[in-house]
Amino acid sequence: MALFLYNGAKEYSYEMLVDSINRHREYFPLYKTDDLFAYFENLVKAIAAGRPLTLLDSDLSVSEIEGLDNGAVNVPVKLDETTYSSVDALVAAVLASSSEITIFTSGTTGQPKKVVHSISTLTRAVRVSEGHIGDIWAYAYNPTHMAGLQVFFQAFANKNTLVNVFNLQRNDVYRNIAAHGVTHISATPTFYRLLLPYEQPYLNVKRVTLGGEKSGTQLYDNIRLIFPNAKINNVYASTEAGSLFAAKGDCFQLPAGLRDKFRVVDEELLIHHSLLGRSDSFKLDGEFYHSGDLIEWVDEANGCFRFKSRKNELINVGGYKVNPSEVEEAIDSIEGVRQSLVYGKPNSVLGNIVVAEVLREEGSAVTDVDIRKSLRDKLQDFKIPRKIIFVEEFTLTRTGKIKRL
């Protein structure tokens, strides 16, 4: 039996998935559950039948989303008596579906916003080939959000195995990678940082993908130690647009056939509306959507660029703009620091001061004085944090990214 999912001590085959879908001919248009197999069954069942579906986090409070009817959550709806003769038939029905999926943003700031996607948009980056037969994916994303959906579709389209490691502790993640022979991992930089410090290599992993947050060279170096046989890719995807382009390292390249679908205005990346899902929250500038992502050209003629920051995360210090990602990368490079989070705090004189929360490496005795001294050679004075707070952990969003204040 081809294995579909490992979830803790439980395992589920693709044959079990097909059988359960054939036996239970109803689905939940609005579904909340913390049972991952039940969630996937409902997702596949709805899409294969061409039905609309709204994805809800299992811990979501209905009051968080305007207009959501609590009385409709987990209420079943009958489906036609269609049965699927095989896994291949089910996969084909999913990939050809006209279903629309509603998902909600859950970034580092702001209230969730509704975005509606077609299956063709969600599977834009899926690659199906003999070369993907036998891939085993560490499932490290929230399944109700864009990144989690895209990993699911890539694995499902190739009948690959998913190994759930989302929200697991470091040692449990490594145990699952080793026990199930994981070959592919796609996750946030925060996820990979939680795997540090390096202790031993895991040679079976062939590909590592990062997305959802800015990452630095130090993290890449650590990933290469842990997964020495893996190719490392960085992807750009958003709830609004899905997956758009990938990179090796931190330099992205606009696809040649889509160059006219992007613009850069005042360093901000603008995306043509034809690449987006549907949402009442979109505010277009003509035909283009302001992504909020600031970039810098590496090779403009060839469409190569690097992400700098989110526009709404820049810190105004006495009229100077501070990019928190630049400060974080400088702090993270200091010996004894595992990770940092930088943000602005209102100040009556300067408008804002720069604040850094710092997570030390285990056993590290690095101090705020040590950090500021090291930063003098790396950053201009106004970028150096005026307040440094040492923390035991960072608060994460539902999608596993660090929550900015």
Eight-class DSSP state of 278: B
Average pLDDT, stretch 122-143? 94
pLDDT at 290: 92
Q: Is the pLDDT of residue 404 over 50?
A: yes
Q: Is the pLDDT of residue 249 over 70?
A: no
The residues, any chain, with a CB within 8 Å of residue 342's CB and separated by 6 or more, are 315, 324, 325, 327, 328, 331, 354, 355, 356, 357, 385
Q: Is the pLDDT of residue 116 over 90?
A: yes
pLDDT at 201: 97
What is the value of pTM for the model shown? 0.86
Average pLDDT, stretch 265-270? 93
H helix or E strand, kind and range, residue 200: none
Q: Is the pLDDT of residue 149 over 70?
A: yes
pLDDT at 142: 92
Q: Is the pLDDT of residue 110 over 80?
A: no
- Confidence label for 360 from pLDDT (cuts 50, 70 and 90): very high
pLDDT at 107: 45
Average pLDDT, stretch 62-77? 77
Mean confidence (pLDDT) of the chain: 90
Q: Which CATH architecture has domain 3-233?
A: 3-Layer(aba) Sandwich (3.40)
Q: Is the pLDDT of residue 108 over 90?
A: no
Calculate what percentage of the chain has a pLDDT beyond 90. Answer: 63
- Digit-coded pLDDT (tens) for 303-329: 888 888 888 889 999 989 999 989 998
Q: Which two tokens stand for residue 110?
A: 């702001």
Average pLDDT, stretch 117-134? 92
- All structural domains of the chain with their residue ranges: 3-233, 253-311, 314-390
pLDDT at 356: 96
Average pLDDT, stretch 67-83? 85
Same fold, 3-233 and 314-390: no
Cα–Cα distance list, 166 to 12, 35, 117 (Å): 17, 13, 24
pLDDT at 397: 80
How many CB atoms are located within 10 Å of the residue 219 CB? 21
CATH of the domain spanning 314-390:
3.30.300.30
pLDDT at 69: 73
- Digit-coded pLDDT (tens) for 161-193: 999 999 999 999 999 999 999 999 999 988 998
Where b means 16+ CB within 10 Å and e means fewer, 53-74 reads bbbbbeebeeeeeeebeeeebe
The residues, any chain, with a CB within 8 Å of residue 381's CB and separated by 6 or more, are none
- Specify the amino acid at residue 370: D
- Digit-coded pLDDT (tens) for 15-67: 999 999 999 999 999 999 999 999 999 999 999 999 999 998 887 776 666 66
pLDDT at 104: 86
Query: Three-state SS for 91?
Result: helix
Cα–Cα distance list, 390 to 334, 354, 362, 381 (Å): 14, 15, 13, 21
